[in-house]
Structure 1
């Protein structure tokens, strides 16, 4: 396990922490009408964290099986060229999510405003958010792929995966703690953050694709040209 690997995983986790499911929905829950959002937010974040962790474990075990059968092929120069091409493709694809380009194409803006409820509703909301994002959580899938190709033993990738998931939910927990201390000062700023996230959601997707594409391309280029 290298420092470069840890920094790459940390960077991907930070990108994941800014997704709509891990930051946007918690902001909505914090600004809901009820006076105490603590319980519902913690239930929601706990559901999201457990969902992501279990999906990660299943993916790691599945990819580990693939690595046992095709490990040599996946570490070949051909495989790294494919990874480099994928990284470049994701980076180029990020430009297609530019809000200005979407506006030129005349596509309507998509908005999603979750409705707060009790613990059961928050579990359902967390699972729904996870299922909706599972096909598009590119940073998380990239992190799983990097950990798998690094040939980490179970005793290393399990705590790494758990740490990754915890980093993902740190921002809303920080906001929750701050709100408990400076309620009147923070709420207007959260409202502006919610408005900003709605306005720039497409740009966030674009940045996520660009960052993940860069990290994949960088990792492949290192193995192809610098090892």
Structure 2
């Protein structure tokens, strides 16, 4: 477990922290009319964190079985191709296209119980399965490294916790500042509604660069 690997995973986790499920639904929860209840956030963020961790464990198990059938150079070339592909795909995202965020606001407004919020968290996680490419890139980095199961589990848990740090920080600020933070949260929400597609492109591009850079380092410099 090298400092470079940990830094790359932390960077990918922070990229993942800007998704609809990990940041913008929590922001909409903060903006929902009525008294702010931290317990609702604990249920929501706890559910989506456990969901991501469980998905990570399942993917790592599959990746580990695959890695045992590949020579290391072959696996690293595959990793390089994936990284370059992610970087190339990032240019196809149009900043003029707006994501459909209204359905999430409607669900949050209509469902306030803990069970309902847990269901929303699971639904958000399932919807994002197809776009959690930074997470898959991070899992690829772990699988390509010489790590034991305990180290991989620790890194997965750390990744999932870093992923919700921005939402927790905003929650703390909202509790401390109360309604004074609402204009800032509203601006973030509006910005995402307008720039969400472009931001996704940036996330994919950065994730692709980090994955490809690690593959190049392993192929030619290690």
TM range (shorter): over 0.9
> Structure 1's 8 and 89: CA in aligned 2 closer, same or farther, altered over 3 A?
same
Counterpart secondary structure, 1:179:
helix
Q: Find the counterpart in structure 2 of residue 157 from structure 1.
A: 152
Q: Find the counterpart in structure 2 of residue 174 from structure 1.
A: 169
Match of 2:85 among 82, 85, 89: 89
Calculate the aligned-residue CA RMSD, in Å: 1.5
Q: Find the counterpart in structure 1 of residue 220 from structure 2.
A: 225
How far apart are 1:42 and its partner, in Å?
A: 1.4
* Residues 178-197 of structure 1: pairs in structure 2 closer than 5 A: 178-197=173-192
2:79 and 2:140 in contact (8 A); partners too: no
How far apart, CA to CA, are the structure 1 residues paired with 2:195 and 2:41? Answer: 23
How far apart are 1:81 and its partner, in Å?
A: 2.9
How far apart, CA to CA, are the structure 2 residues paired with 1:79 and 1:121? Answer: 42
2:76 and 2:219 in contact (8 A); partners too: yes
How far apart, CA to CA, are the structure 1 residues paired with 2:82 and 2:59? Answer: 19
> Structure 1's 109 and 67: CA in aligned 2 closer, same or farther, altered over 3 A?
closer
> Structure 1's 91 and 13: CA in aligned 2 closer, same or farther, altered over 3 A?
same
> Structure 1's 17 and 218: CA in aligned 2 closer, same or farther, altered over 3 A?
same
Q: Find the counterpart in structure 2 of residue 199 from structure 1.
A: 194
Q: Find the counterpart in structure 2 of residue 105 from structure 1.
A: none
2:75 and 2:144 in contact (8 A); partners too: no
How far apart are 1:158 and its partner, in Å?
A: 1.0
How far apart, CA to CA, are the structure 2 residues paired with 1:172 and 1:136? Answer: 19
Cα deviation code 1:173-208 (max 9, x no counterpart): 111111111113211110111101111110111011
How far apart are 1:92 and its partner, in Å?
A: 1.5
Q: Find the counterpart in structure 2 of residue 41 from structure 1.
A: 41
Q: How many residues align?
A: 217
Cα deviation code 1:37-63 (max 9, x no counterpart): 312121110100010011111111222
Residue 150 (structure 2) pairs with residue 148 (structure 1): no
How far apart, CA to CA, are the structure 1 residues paired with 2:217 and 2:190? Answer: 40
What are the ranges of 5 or more consecutive residues in structure 2 without an aligned counterpart?
none
Residue 6 (structure 2) pairs with residue 10 (structure 1): no
Cα deviation code 1:155-177 (max 9, x no counterpart): 21111111110001111111111
What are the ranges of 5 or more consecutive residues in structure 1 without an aligned counterpart?
103-107
How far apart, CA to CA, are the structure 2 residues paired with 1:81 and 1:177? Answer: 43
How far apart, CA to CA, are the structure 2 residues paired with 1:126 and 1:109? Answer: 18
1:29 and 1:37 in contact (8 A); partners too: no
